[in-house]
Amino acid sequence: MKHLGIDYGTKRIGIAISNNEGTLAFPKEILKNSQDIIQDILDIVEYEQIEIIVIGKSVDPWGSENLVQREINTFIKKLSYDLEDGIEIIEQDERGSSVAAASHLYGKGNIANEKWTGKDNAKKREHNDANAAAVILQRYLDKQKNQI
């Protein structure tokens, strides 16, 4: 069963895909959050033959809904309306996913810290969205595996 992971952002949306068995998540791409984003997601769902979509749930440290979550709720409603029947949308707590996705960047002199390497590495830091989507999706997949 193939899954799609989404790290929703107001400017960019990170996308991750699972393997066919639904056991491992891989970063795929970063999409611009534009008027075409629903169609872009639907195209990926069709092409990759996705059966379950896992979207990061954005909450504050205490688990309460924040401002971004309100946008995510609207996004989910729009996406649900256009999805084929049988494709499920599930929310997965995304707290700490961006930090986890970027943790490998925080070694001494590495690209995460602008003062160490300058603005030339801004593009490398930007790719964190797809990695965060993979972290969100992998958390969900691991949770499902542990329930078996």
pLDDT attached to residue 34? 97
Where helices occur in 18-87 by DSSP H, the ranges are 37-48, 67-82
Distance CA 105, CA 128 (A): 10
CATH number at residue 68: 3.30.420.140
What token pair was written down for 22?
A: 């639904």
Q: What is the pLDDT along the chain (148 residues), one digit of tens a residue?
A: 999 999 999 999 999 999 999 999 999 999 999 999 999 999 999 999 999 999 999 887 887 888 899 999 999 999 999 998 889 999 998 754 554 444 444 454 555 555 545 555 555 555 678 888 999 999 999 999 877 6
pLDDT attached to residue 128? 77
pLDDT attached to residue 28? 95
pLDDT attached to residue 100? 45
Distance CA 141, CA 131 (A): 15
pLDDT attached to residue 129? 82
Select from 49, 55, 58 the least CA-distant residue to 87. Answer: 49
pLDDT attached to residue 114? 55
Give the domain range for residue 55. Answer: 3-147
Cα 111 to chain center, whole Å?
A: 21
- Give the count of domains, the chain: 1
29, 39 contact by CB (below 8 A): no
What token pair was written down for 50?
A: 């996705």
Distance CA 123, CA 52 (A): 30
